[in-house]
Amino acid sequence: MSRGMTLTILTGALLMNTLAQTGATPQLGSTTKKSFGKTPGGQPVDLYVLTNKSGAEAAITNYGVAVVSLKVPDRSGKLADVVLGYDTADGYVNDKSYFGALVGRYGNRIGHAQFVLDGKTYTLAKNNGENSLHGGIAGFNKALWTARMLPAKDGQSLELSYLSKDGEEGFPGDLKVTVTYTLTDANALKIDYSATTEKKTVVNLTNHSYFNLAGQGAGDILGHLLTIQADKFTPVDSGLIPTGELRDVRGTPFDFRKSTAIGARIDRDEEQLKLGGGYDHNFVLRRSAGVGESLAARVVEPASGRVLEVWTTEPGVQFYTGNFLDGKTVGKGGTTYPKRSAFCLETQHFPDSPNQPKFPSAVLNPGDRYHTITTYKFSTEK
Ligand code: GLA
C-alpha cells in the first residue's frame, strides 16, 4: 500500500469519526451524540441517534429518557417518524403529555396520592385531581439521566441510569434505575428496565411513546387496526382509578381480541369510554407460560402497511388514545397534535396496585431486582 493510499484511508476514517460526533450524516450501524439544549438549571442535554444496519433510526435524549423520534420503513421502504415529540430539550422541559418519556417511579395513577407499606402511610403530590399520576410533579421524565453508548451485537444500545433519592416525590428508598434501549437491526426497539432499592418501595416503569404509524402529524389514528391479547380490562371510576374489578371484554367496546379499527366503537355511549374520554384503560394481558416476553398488542396502519407489535414481560398495558391532546402543543417541525392523533400502549403493572391487594404486586424489596422488558417490533404487511 502506498503512503498516499494509507493517508486517504486515515483521513476517511477521521472524517467519518467527526461526522459521527457531530451527527451530520448518520452512518448505518452507528450511534451519534449531539447537543439537544439545556435543562432549566443550565445543564447540557444530549440527543443520541441510533441508526441500525437497515437504516431505521431512534433518537433518544437523556432528559427524561424521551424517545424523540423513531423512523421506520413502510411497505415500500420509505421511512417516517412514527412518534410524537419536540425538536429541543425545552419541549420536554415544558411537556405535560409525557411524549416518549420514561415514566416513574410509579407509572399511571395511585388513588388519593397515598399508599401504605408495612403500616406506614406515604403521601404523594396530587397532580391529577385527587390522585398521583406518573411519578408526581417531577417524575423520572423530568430528570437528567446519565447515558452511555454500549456495544450491542444485534443493533445499537444506549444505557441510561438515574438515582432517585429516598423521599423523592414522596416515595421511600434510594432507587437505582438502569434502562437500556436497543434499536435492533431487525427494526425493534427493545427496552430493558432494572432497579434496586435501599428500602421497601413501589416501582412501575414504562415508556410513554405516542405512536402514529402513518407518521407523526399525519391525522388521527382511528383507522389503525388494533389487536390486544386481553380477555379482561380494569374498569375505572371518574378519577380513572380502577374499581378493582377485572371485567370480561366480551360484548364491550374493549374487545380487541380480533383486529378492530381503533375508531370503530370509540364514540359509543358506554360508561367506561365516557369516563376515559375514549380509551384510557389498563388491559389484563393473556400471558404465555414462562418468564419471557409475550405478545401484548399488534397495530396495523393499512395505508402505509406499517405494523407495530408490543411484546412485554408486564401483566398489563394501558391503551390510551390521546384523548387529552388538544392541538395546541407545538411539536416537531412546528406540527400540532390534535385529539386522537396518536395512541399509547404503556406496558405496566396495573394502575393503583399499591392500594389494590388483588392486583399483581408492584412492591420492590431491598435485595431484590426489579426487571422488566418491553419490545416494540416494527414490520410491514401488504
Ligand atoms: C396516561 C394516562 C392518561 C394521561 C396520559 C398523559 O396514558 O392514563 O390519562 O394522563 O398518560 O396525558
Instruction: Give 119-172 pLDDT, tens digit per residue.
Output: 999 999 999 999 999 999 999 999 999 999 998 889 999 999 999 999 999 999
Asked if 226 and 309 count as a contact pair (C-beta separation under 8 A), the reply is no
Atom 8 of ligand 1: nearest residue by CA position: 280
DSSP bridge pairs for 71: 57, 81
Atom 5 of ligand 1: nearest residue by CA position: 97
Cell numbers 375505572 correspond to 236
Q: Cβ atoms within 10 A of the Cβ of 26, count?
A: 18
Give the pLDDT score at 21: 47
DSSP string spanning 92-106?
HHH-SS-TTPEE-SB
245 is known as an active-site residue: no
Measured on CA atoms in the order 202, 62, 85, 223, is the torsion positive or negative?
Answer: negative
| Torsion of Cα atoms, 103 then 105 then 108 then 111, to 10° | -160
Give the containing element (helix H, strand E) for 276: helix 271-276
Give the pLDDT score at 4: 43
- Choose the catalytic residue: 134, 208, 224, 281: 208
Ligand 1, pocket-test mutation among 234, 279, 328, 344, most atoms within 8 A of CB:
344
Which residues of the chain are under the pLDDT cut of 50? 1-23
Give the pLDDT score at 25: 62
Q: Which amino acid is at 166?
A: D
- Choose the catalytic residue: 169, 293, 346, 349: 346
Interior angle at CA 148, CA 145 and CA 154, nearest 5? 125
In the numeric block, which cell numbers belong to residue 253? 367496546
| Segment 86-101, tens digit of pLDDT | 999 999 999 999 999 9
280 CA: nearest ligand 1 atom: 8
Give the pLDDT score at 2: 43
240 CA: nearest ligand 1 atom: 9
349 is known as an active-site residue: no
Give CA–CA dist 47/65, Å, rounded: 10
Of residues 159, 161, 235, 209, the one with CA closest to residue 310: 209
